[in-house]
Structure 1
Amino acid sequence: MAPKNPARDNREARERLRLYQARRGLHDRQRRRRVRDNLVGAGALVLVAALATGSQLAFAGSQGNGSADASASATATPTPSASATAANTGDVPSKEIAKGATWTGSLTLNGSIDLGIELDGAKAPQAASVEISLIKEQFYNGTTCHRLADSDGLKFLQCGSANGDGTGDAGFQYGPLENVPEDGVYDEGTIAIARSTSPYSQSTQFFIVYGDTTLDGSTGGYTVVGKVTSGLSELESKIVDKGIASPGDDGTGEPKVATKITDATIAQEK
């Protein structure tokens, strides 16, 4: 595994966030321009209609009638926070983006591991909308999958932090939790949103479950936003089976095989 370069990684993270925000800004300006043009067009139609109506009234009268940075974590033992604020922070993408539809695409790791993905805009409209926005704006390209769990009943790969080490986001955090398994079991193939203690601390990080996993639901569980539809066996053979570099107290840690998202695509299913 290549040695880390914190200065370079931080520069890349800042540049990635800057580009993401710039793209979001352009998108917002284009949206506002469309809204403005629509309003101008609607105003013109109203004016024409009013003039026409006025002409009709005048004619009739003449006839005599008259809208953190937090380190999100997928962990079996999250610690509840009594001071957690139940509110979105920052510029959270609209939950209308998903349109209540199914979205399909791909997630490429290390340039060669292709995962087919599916996002559920009906069961998790807010989370799906955020993921769609992040993927379309290429936020994930170049980000690191920094955390691997490979013990019995705990099998996931966590990705998507802006800084590549479990910290950083895209300038927003959101809630509420959606589509959470009642029994705390996250089936093989599940894609869920990572978070810290607050249900409103969801942001850019997510985890891919490559084997049935049980997580503590005492703080509410984790939003299931979709699933991996293909490629899990390749993920296991090329990354998971190589192990964890330095497991922490909970047995999770950075994969021995340095893992990055090199491409991501998404589109509404027809």
Structure 2
Amino acid sequence: MSTSKRERERARLREQKWTRRQADARARRRRVWTIAAAVSGVAVVAGVTALAVSANAPDATYTLPPAAAAEDREWTGELRTSAGDIAFTLDGQAAPQAVANFVSLARAGFFDDTDCHRLTTANIFVLQCGDPTGTSTGGPGYTFGPVENTPEDGFFPAGTIAMARAQSTDSQGSQFFLVYEDSTLPTNTGGYTVFGKITSGLDVVRAVADAGTADGAVDGSPATPVTIEGVETQ
């Protein structure tokens, strides 16, 4: 099978996976609403930058938690991927909204079985993940801002974990990037939220980067597929 055919097939499978996840989430929500109504007796329930993501998002099935949910503390966790495990810490004091968001999505299983869809191998050195559609257009159904804890000089050392976004600083959602070599990102568009760092497993990301992109370009899907199998936080 040619590279282009493989890419189309992978995109088709990702889209099918996303559709199933959305349907499952809607079904779970309907079940919760039905139970809530039965218990309460109430029938009605209230209910272009270097690392850009699309501002378009699917219908909301997740809710942005309050920044206070980050508990003003350091979190630890592990990103289990098909390429290897990546341990990390999250700074709930410096970037409370981003950390609360990431922990909430991780515990809801949002990232499970999603692919890291973008690798850059020149000028900036990052692996981008967190899009359930694998197209750079997916998200949790909401966006948030402003940017938190962004370095004034735009320097992101290797091991940094930061939020991707579209042009607006209020367009953060679920997509994030792992910096595998020291990188300097633009500062004139508002910066990027740094919310964590890799404590072990940076070699995993570097091995993916060493294999390059699927089409040999400096910016594209990684030649070594990276699927997030699960995320643990504590």
TM-score > 0.5 by shorter chain: yes
Cα contact 2:159–2:199 (8 A) shared by 1: yes
Cα contact 1:149–1:156 (8 A) shared by 2: yes
Structure 1 stretches of 5 or more lacking a match? 37-72, 79-83
* Aligned partner of 1:94 among 66, 87, 92: 66
Answering whether residue 50 of structure 2 is matched by residue 75 of structure 1, we say yes
Aligned-residue RMSD, C-alpha: 3.0
Answering whether residue 103 of structure 2 is matched by residue 132 of structure 1, we say yes
Task: Spell out, residue by residue over 1:96-136, the C-alpha distance to the aligned partner (whole angstroms, 9 max, x if none).
Answer: 211111110100121x5110011111000000000000110
TM-score by length of 2: 0.81
Match of 2:212 in 1: 243
Answering whether residue 91 of structure 2 is matched by residue 120 of structure 1, we say yes
Taking the aligned partners of 1:132 and 1:208, their CA distance within structure 2 comes to 16
Match of 1:228 in 2: 198
Taking the aligned partners of 1:192 and 1:106, their CA distance within structure 2 comes to 15
Residues 148 and 225 of structure 1, relative CA distance in 2, 3 Å threshold: same
How many Å apart are 1:21 and its aligned residue?
6.0
Identity over aligned pairs, percent:
37
* Aligned partner of 2:181 among 211, 215, 220: 211
Taking the aligned partners of 1:28 and 1:202, their CA distance within structure 2 comes to 28
Greater Rg over alpha carbons, structure = 1
* Aligned partner of 2:223 among 256, 260, 263: 256
Alignment size in residue pairs: 215
Structure 2 stretches of 5 or more lacking a match? 41-47
Taking the aligned partners of 2:189 and 2:31, their CA distance within structure 1 comes to 37
Taking the aligned partners of 1:258 and 1:220, their CA distance within structure 2 comes to 31
TM-score by length of 1: 0.71
> Which stretch of the first structure deviates more once superposed, 91-100 or 10-19?
10-19
Residues 222 and 114 of structure 1, relative CA distance in 2, 3 Å threshold: same
How many Å apart are 1:190 and its aligned residue?
0.4
Taking the aligned partners of 2:49 and 2:35, their CA distance within structure 1 comes to 36
Taking the aligned partners of 2:177 and 2:146, their CA distance within structure 1 comes to 17
* Aligned partner of 2:155 among 185, 199, 222: 185
Partner-residue secondary structure (3-state), 1:158: strand
How many Å apart are 1:226 and its aligned residue?
0.5
Match of 1:103 in 2: 75
Cα contact 2:14–2:132 (8 A) shared by 1: no
Taking the aligned partners of 1:104 and 1:26, their CA distance within structure 2 comes to 32
Match of 1:11 in 2: 16
Task: Spell out, residue by residue over 1:124-151, the C-alpha distance to the aligned partner (whole angstroms, 9 max, x if none).
Answer: 0000000000110110011111111112
Cα contact 1:187–1:211 (8 A) shared by 2: yes
Cα contact 1:185–1:212 (8 A) shared by 2: yes
Cα contact 1:20–1:139 (8 A) shared by 2: no
Taking the aligned partners of 1:141 and 1:121, their CA distance within structure 2 comes to 22
